[in-house]
Copies of this chain bind each other. A is one copy, B any other.
Amino acid sequence: MEAGEASPLNPLLRKLGTIAALTEEDRNTLRALPITIRTLQPDHDIAREGDRPTQCCIILEGWAFRSKLAGDGTRQIVAFHLPGDFPDLQSLYVPVMDHTLTTLTSVTAAVMTHQSVRELLARAPHLAAVFWRDTLIEAAVTREWIVNMSVRSAKERIAHLLCEMHERLQSIGLAQNVGGKPVFPWPVTQARLAETTGLSAVHVNRSLQELRAEGLLRLSHKWVTMLNGPGMRALAGFKPDYLSLRPADDESVAA
């Protein structure tokens, strides 16, 4: 594996590499983006519903999530974002936020102005297409979440989410393998998992217990071990095609 230059934007390059083939020129163009690195506390709103951001950020480290507030005050999480994601790129073209973007963990982010992103996209139409593709894949994920919410049982919903997040973490090199079992970080409390799956926190708790009792997973101290990956995928009806991940070039080697 060619050692990439050390650049704070490497997580972005890695992520984009999972959905498109980047040329060395692309990488250099991206590395040249004028960014400011910022560290954000957990539970910090990056942009709120109704805001008109003038900046965009790329997540370099940590997790974030999007949520919407329903009329009765219930909060629904509609997406998770991982290192390399560009979660508010959309504010370039849809100025008013339709949802709130919040850090889940402590997050290191690369912040840049809309202006500089516009210039990048104008200069590199090829990269604009890559980002558009990213938008489209995210839409596909959102569609899958609709299916998750509406047709699957509590256990299935949770299992499906875990499968999806594992797949995504794996693709960016953030999942490990311990004794042949996938292990990955899970900074999601049961209350947040409830807001994600449309279940009550109590029922999430009980469903998790069943998943544990069936020997499918271990989950404690903010880490998940998939004890029985195939079993989880079967239970969840998980088929990863909708993520449109490219077959890994070097992922297998990297670990």
Contact = CB atoms under 8 A, between A and B. Distances in A.
Given A76-B150, A139-B139, A242-B98, A68 B237 contact: no
Nearest to A93: B133
**Max chain B CB contacts within 10 Å: which of A128, A135, A143, A145?**
A143
Interface string A131-165: 01101111110111111011110000000000000
A136 B93 CA distance: 8
Contacts of A150: 76, 149, 197-198
Contacts of A133: 93-94
A247 interface: no
Interface in A92-113: 93-94, 96, 98-99
Q: In the complex this chain forms, how many copies of it are found?
A: 2
Interface of A is mostly: helix
Interface of A: 50, 66, 68, 70-72, 74, 76, 78-79, 90, 93-94, 96, 98-99, 122, 125, 128-129, 132-133, 135-140, 142-147, 149-152, 197-198, 237, 241-242, 244
21 contacts: A68-B143, A68-B144, A70-B147, A70-B237, A74-B151, A76-B151, A78-B143, A79-B143, A93-B132, A96-B241, A98-B143, A98-B144, A99-B140, A122-B125, A128-B128, A128-B132, A139-B142, A142-B143, A142-B146, A145-B146, A151-B198
